[in-house]
Chains A and B, each alone.
Chain A
Amino acid sequence: MTVVAQTLGSFNPNSLLKHSQKELDELFKTLPALTEGELEGVYRGRLFAIMGLGILPRFLRNLLYRLLQTFINPWKGKRFDGDNGANIWFSKRGTLPYGFYSINSQDSAVDGEPVTHLSYDVDKNLRILRPVRGETRKLSDGVYLARMNYQTRKKLVRVLYFTLDNIS
């Protein structure tokens, strides 16, 4: 008898809040790349695994990242429009975009596997934002795991991880 796959339930991104950057690196390595044009529209973001906070106990990190999902954090997520996109602020509707990026598919500079690459090297951005490099892969249906790297002169530094989930 052939077993047919049934539709999966939704993945809870909060289950990743206690993870360290190293753990998320391992998870990220196992994730599949996105299909072209898969990200389109407005996505809610959740920040975690912020550089330097790994020294905190897991429960404290979990608490802090949950706080960052409340109104105190002005960053609400990202908007994707074809080959371009921007971060959205204050409102989940995406009416206040800032922090622009171009989108393309390429191999990750970290693990060499295919990713959807977000390059902040865009004229509209402040100079300080331009070395930011985002990488995105699919976590489950409608949920994506992404990381923000910062290109210094010497190396690529992992700043944080975040998830994007479709709010429509």
Chain B
Amino acid sequence: MTNKYDVIVIGSGFGGSVSSYHLAKAGAKVLLLERGPWRDTEPVRAMGIKKRSHLPAGSHFYTHILNRFSAPWLPKSGVKVNTHGLFDIHYDRDMSVVCSSGVGGGSHVYSAMNIRPAVDAYWDNHVDGVSTDMMEPHYQWMIDKMGARPPALDDNIPNFTGKRYEDSPHFVADESVQQPAMSMDMSSNPENFSNNSFFGCVGWSKATLDKILLSPAINAGLEVKALQECLGIYRIDGPSATSYRLEVMDHQTKRHTYYQADRIILAAGTLNTQRLLFRSRDNGGLSGMPSLGCNFGGNGDFPAYWGVNEKGADFSIGTPSHGRFELRDYPSCPNFTEYGMSGIDDVPLVGNAVRNRLKRDLVLVGMGADRANGAFTWKNGRLRTRYIQHNNPIIGAIAKAFEEISRRSGKKVWFTNKRLLTVHPLGGARLASNQNDGVVNEQGEVYGNPGLFIADASALPAAPGSPPSMTIAAWACHVSQTLSNKI
């Protein structure tokens, strides 16, 4: 049977790419399914991939910005805008989520911050067999692969917070504030410092997973199928072994297709992983998982708009994030990261007034470990997020600090804590020592469904309080290396 594999990996973000890389290198027959397309970037062109989709820029901005929009008042599966669109927006009352779609997953749109959890001993005391010490080599491996290092003052990076707040009486970004390692080419070429953040990076400056991991994995035998969206997972209990059948929508041919594998690694991103698990359980494809949906959180993400309007400034250039800073003499200050409107030059706007103003303003993101005590619910095929803000004091602390930033700078910080927004949803299928507390065991295998593994942020045991890409990658490393030892 040609559609049969040792392992099928669903999703090509940090979880899926890392898993595919390790398993393909270990010699397994691996298929990677990705619902989005290959992106038209220079590294992908160099890989010889023929069918590529534009990133949202220029005349393709409005057609390629949105993949799917879902909201409580829309049909349960949301409104599909464009299969080739970059972002999914899941609007909900308690917390909305934005995530991306395409081969390489979030690495195209992330801010290139490669950082360990802000929470000390993050992996300890959740399950036997997983510890912070044990996971450390996985973090280091991934950071080395991404070629990441923290920016320094003598890199002369435009708008770097370390430089901007050098003499500030209000804010601090010196060596007391840990700057994240960034997977960026920080050499002096000005092209490296534009259009490299939210809307993707066409050039070579940002390390993306398609070039760093998938390209060598393809050379090792990995098969990647883009524009293939998994709709259902069906367990097949054979007399001697369990295997899985996947129902997949091929967006190129607009037909359902089917694949079979002995093992499945689910790494479709938290929201899509939840949808897939709930739907498959409803359809009789999977069983058990009494804790599915529990312990959802937004990693304390809290974005705001800082109307700096600094004369002569162009904050749209620089690294994808300008770096971290803190309020000077402000005890227990949350993490703040500053962003310019990267890529704004390629967004078609009427006139230049709006564009110029956006270039002079900043986006702030506060972040900290929330308690991840929300939940995903599933009713009649509709996924909802439930998150009680008052049970997560970090959100209030960030809001208070935003007000202080506004007061000290004399420039308005716009934010709303009535509608929370995250780009780092996590939990819902957490790591735990039994199926009543979580969904996966210490190897990432789903309780009650042998051979089904989860390697994305939905399996994380708690909020890391920092951008979770390296934590997801480390978990995927652990899951796939354990699995490859068994194959």
A and B interact: yes
Residues of chain A whose beta carbon lies under 8 Å from any beta carbon of chain B:
1-12, 15, 19-20, 22-23, 26-27, 29-32, 113, 140-141
Contact A27–B283 (Cβ < 8 Å): no
**Apart from A9-B283, A11-B283, A140-B284, 11 more pairs, CB < 8 Å:** A2-B450, A3-B451, A5-B237, A6-B287, A8-B286, A20-B255, A27-B256, A29-B258, A30-B245, A30-B259, A32-B236
Fill in one digit per residue for B1-27: 1 if any A CB lies within 8 Å of its CB, else 0.
101100000000000000000000000
Contact A140–B442 (Cβ < 8 Å): no
7 contacts between A and B (CB under 8 A): A1-B442, A5-B287, A8-B237, A9-B287, A29-B258, A30-B259, A140-B284
Select which of B1, B288, B442 is within 8 A of A30 by beta carbon. Answer: B1
Roughly how many angstroms separate A3 CA and B445 CA in the complex, as a whole number? 7
B273 at the interface (CB under 8 A from A): no
Q: Residues of B contacting A29 with CB < 8 Å?
A: 1, 3, 258
Question: In this complex, which of B258, B281, B287, B451 has the most chain A Cβ atoms within 10 angstroms of its Cβ?
Answer: B258
B449 at the interface (CB under 8 A from A): yes
Roughly how many angstroms separate A5 CA and B285 CA in the complex, as a whole number? 12
Q: How far is the CB of A32 from chain B (nearest CB, A)?
A: 6
Contact B245–A6 (Cβ < 8 Å): no
Nearest B residue to A139 via CB reads: B234
Q: Residues of B contacting A113 with CB < 8 Å?
A: 1
Contact A1–B443 (Cβ < 8 Å): yes
Select which of B234, B258, B288, B445 is within 8 A of A26 by beta carbon. Answer: B258
Roughly how many angstroms separate A163 CA and B255 CA in the complex, as a whole number? 20
Q: How far is the CB of A92 from chain B (nearest CB, A)?
A: 22
The 10 closest A-B pairs by CB, nearest first: A6-B448, A11-B284, A9-B284, A6-B287, A23-B256, A3-B450, A6-B288, A30-B258, A8-B287, A26-B258
Q: Residues of A contacting B258 with CB < 8 Å?
A: 26-27, 29-30
Q: Residues of B contacting A15 with CB < 8 Å?
A: 232, 283
Question: In this complex, which of B1, B4, B256, B445 has the most chain A Cβ atoms within 10 angstroms of its Cβ?
Answer: B256
A-B contact count (CB 8 A): 79
Q: Are A32 and B443 also in contact (CB < 8 A) when A3-B449, A5-B287 are?
A: no
Q: How far is the CB of B288 from chain A (nearest CB, A)?
A: 4
Q: Residues of B contacting A10 with CB < 8 Å?
A: 284
Roughly how many angstroms separate A6 CA and B235 CA in the complex, as a whole number? 10
Q: How far is the CB of A13 from chain B (nearest CB, A)?
A: 10
Question: In this complex, which of A4, A7, A10, A26 has the most chain B Cβ atoms within 10 angstroms of its Cβ?
Answer: A26
Roughly how many angstroms separate A11 CA and B234 CA in the complex, as a whole number? 9
Roughly how many angstroms separate A113 CA and B281 CA in the complex, as a whole number? 28
Nearest B residue to A16 via CB reads: B256
Contact A26–B448 (Cβ < 8 Å): no
Q: How far is the CB of A57 from chain B (nearest CB, A)?
A: 12
Roughly how many angstroms separate A15 CA and B381 CA in the complex, as a whole number? 13
Q: Residues of A contacting B247 with CB < 8 Å?
A: 27
Fill in one digit per residue for B346-375: 1 if any A CB lies within 8 Å of its CB, else 0.
000000000000000000000000000000
Q: Residues of A contacting B392 with CB < 8 Å?
A: none
Q: Residues of A contacting B285 with CB < 8 Å?
A: 8, 11, 140
B308 at the interface (CB under 8 A from A): no
Q: Residues of B contacting A8 with CB < 8 Å?
A: 235, 237, 284-287
Q: How far is the CB of B281 from chain A (nearest CB, A)?
A: 7
Nearest A residue to B2 via CB reads: A29
Nearest B residue to A2 via CB reads: B450
Q: Residues of B contacting A30 with CB < 8 Å?
A: 1, 3-4, 245, 258-260
Q: Are A5 and B235 also in contact (CB < 8 A) when A11-B283, A29-B258 are?
A: yes
Contact A6–B284 (Cβ < 8 Å): no
Q: How far is the CB of B75 from chain A (nearest CB, A)?
A: 13
Select which of A5, A19, A31 is within 8 A of B256 by beta carbon. Answer: A19
Q: How far is the CB of A38 from chain B (nearest CB, A)?
A: 12
Question: In this complex, which of A3, A4, A19 has the most chain B Cβ atoms within 10 angstroms of its Cβ?
Answer: A3
Roughly how many angstroms separate A5 CA and B243 CA in the complex, as a whole number? 11
Fill in one digit per residue for B434-450: 1 if any A CB lies within 8 Å of its CB, else 0.
00000001110111111
Q: Residues of B contacting A4 with CB < 8 Å?
A: 448, 450
Select which of A12, A20, A23, A27 is within 8 A of B284 by beta carbon. Answer: A12
Roughly how many angstroms separate A111 CA and B284 CA in the complex, as a whole number? 26
B417 at the interface (CB under 8 A from A): no
B215 at the interface (CB under 8 A from A): no
Contact B441–A26 (Cβ < 8 Å): no
Roughly how many angstroms separate A7 CA and B267 CA in the complex, as a whole number? 24
Nearest A residue to B232 via CB reads: A15
Fill in one digit per residue for B249-283: 1 if any A CB lies within 8 Å of its CB, else 0.
00000011111100000000000000000000111
B410 at the interface (CB under 8 A from A): no
Nearest A residue to B256 via CB reads: A23
Roughly how many angstroms separate A127 CA and B449 CA in the complex, as a whole number? 49
B331 at the interface (CB under 8 A from A): no
Roughly how many angstroms separate A100 CA and B445 CA in the complex, as a whole number? 47
Q: How far is the CB of B8 from chain A (nearest CB, A)?
A: 12
B53 at the interface (CB under 8 A from A): no
B238 at the interface (CB under 8 A from A): yes
Q: Residues of A contacting B449 with CB < 8 Å?
A: 3, 5-6
Contact A23–B255 (Cβ < 8 Å): yes
B406 at the interface (CB under 8 A from A): no
Q: How far is the CB of B363 from chain A (nearest CB, A)?
A: 42
Contact A26–B283 (Cβ < 8 Å): no
Question: In this complex, which of A12, A15, A30 has the most chain B Cβ atoms within 10 angstroms of its Cβ?
Answer: A30
Contact B257–A26 (Cβ < 8 Å): yes
Roughly how many angstroms separate A2 CA and B451 CA in the complex, as a whole number? 10
Q: Residues of B contacting A11 with CB < 8 Å?
A: 234, 283-285
Roughly how many angstroms separate A141 CA and B285 CA in the complex, as a whole number? 10
Q: How far is the CB of B20 from chain A (nearest CB, A)?
A: 22
Roughly how many angstroms separate A120 CA and B283 CA in the complex, as a whole number? 33
Nearest A residue to B129 via CB reads: A1
